[in-house]
Amino acid sequence: MPTSTRAFLLGPLLKGVSRSFYLTLRVLPAGMRDPIGLAYLLARAADTIADTSLIPPAQRLTMLIALRDQVNGTAHDDALFQRMAAEVAGQQEQSDEKLLLESLGPAFEVLAQLDEPDRQAVRGIVATLTEGMEFDLRTFPDERSGQIAALGEYDELDRYTYLVAGCVGEFWTTMTYAHMPGTLKERPDTMAARGVRFGKALQMTNVLRDCAKDLRIGRCYLPQTMLARHGLSAQDLLLPANSLRARPLLNELLHKALEHFRAALDYTLAIPALSVRLRLACLWPILIGLETLLLLVDNEAWLDPQRVSKVRRNDVYRIIASSLLLVPSNALVRRAIEERIARIEARL
C-alpha cells in the first residue's frame, strides 16, 4: 500500500471521524499510534453500520457480523463486502463517515501489514466492541418503532460498559506493554483491571450524559431493578419534568462512575512522570469526563434532550492547556482529579 494511503487513513480520515480522540492519539508514542488508530477506524466503521437507523436492525446485524468476520480474516468475499459498505455509505449524510466506509478496503490492507501481535490485538478489540454493538441491536427495539426497552440488572449495564469501553482499557494496556516495555512498573494484570475500570468510567459518563437522547430511540441503559427501587419506569424518564424525581437514581449511578474514575487515576499515576505523552493521553479523557459529570450533576433538567451536559470545545482546549502544567507531578495530577471528584460528591 502506498505510504500516502496509509498516512491518509491514519491522519486526515482519522481526524475527521474521531474528534477529540484524535488529539489523544497524536500525543501517543509513535509505535502505538498505528494499531490504536486502525482499531479506532474499524470500530467506528462498525459503529456507523450499527447506528444507521434507515437500515432495519436485522440487516445491520448481518452486516456487523460480516465486518467482524472480515476483520478476523475468516471471510474474504470482497465484492459482497464492498456492496454492503456502499449500501450503508449511501445512507450517510456526513462525508467523513461515508468516506470511512468507502475506505474499508485500504484499512484491511493496513491491518494485514501490522506485526502479528498487533494484528491479533486489533482483531480482538474490534471483535469485543462489535459484540457490544450486537448486544444493542439484539436488546433494544428498532429506533423508529416508538417502543422502549430497559436493561434488566446492573450487571447487564456493567457488562455492556465493558464490551463498549472497558475492553479498550485492556487493549490500551496491552499496546503499552508491547510498545513501551519497562514503562509500566505495576503487574500487567493489575494495570489491565484498572484499564477496564478506566474505560467503564468513560462509558458510564456517556450513558448518563446521553440518557435522554437514548431514551428517544428506545434504549434505556438504566436497569429495571434500579428504576423499580426508585419507583420509576423507563417511560417515566421520557418526561423532562421527572428529572428531580429521578435524581436519586442519577446520584446512585454517579457514585459508581466516580469509583471507576478513582481506578483511572491509579492507572494514570502508575505511568512514570517522564512518560509525558502517555500520561497526557490518559489525563485528558479523565478531566473531560469529570467535567462532564460536573455539568450533569448541576443540570436540573438532565432528562431534557435539549439540555445535554456536554463540555464545550473551548473548555476542552482549556483542559488540555492546563493539563500541561499538571502532568509532570503526581501530586498535582492527584489533586486535580480528586478535587473534581470531591466537587461532584458534594453535590450528590
Integer Cα distance of 260 and 196 in angstroms: 9
Q: What is the pLDDT of residue 162?
A: 98
User: Where in the chain are the domains?
Assistant: 1-139, 141-348
What pLDDT does 23 receive?
76
**Closest Cα partner for 234 from 247, 251, 252, 216?**
216
* Total-model pTM: 0.92
C-alpha–C-alpha distance, residues 163 and 75, integer Å:
23
- CB-count burial class (<10 Å; 0-12, 13-18, 19+) for 346: exposed
Whole-number pLDDT of residue 214: 97
Q: What is the full DSSP assignment across 302-331?
A: TT-TTS-----HHHHHHHHHHHHHHTT-HH
Per-residue pLDDT of the chain (348 residues; tens, 9 = 90+): 455 777 888 888 888 888 667 777 877 877 888 999 999 999 999 998 898 888 889 989 988 998 999 899 876 666 656 666 677 666 666 677 878 888 888 899 899 999 999 999 999 999 999 999 999 999 999 999 999 999 999 999 999 999 999 999 999 999 999 999 999 989 999 999 999 999 999 999 999 999 999 999 999 999 999 999 999 999 999 999 999 999 999 999 999 999 999 999 999 999 999 999 899 999 999 999 999 999 999 999 999 999 999 999 899 999 999 999 999 999 999 999 999 999 999 999
pLDDT of amino acid 1? 46
Q: What CA dihedral angle connects 191, 156, 43 and 180, to 10 degrees?
A: 0
* Domain 141-348 listed as CATH 1.10.1740.10: no
> What is the pLDDT at residue 84?
67
Which candidate, 109, 92, 98, places its Cα nearest to that of 2? Answer: 109
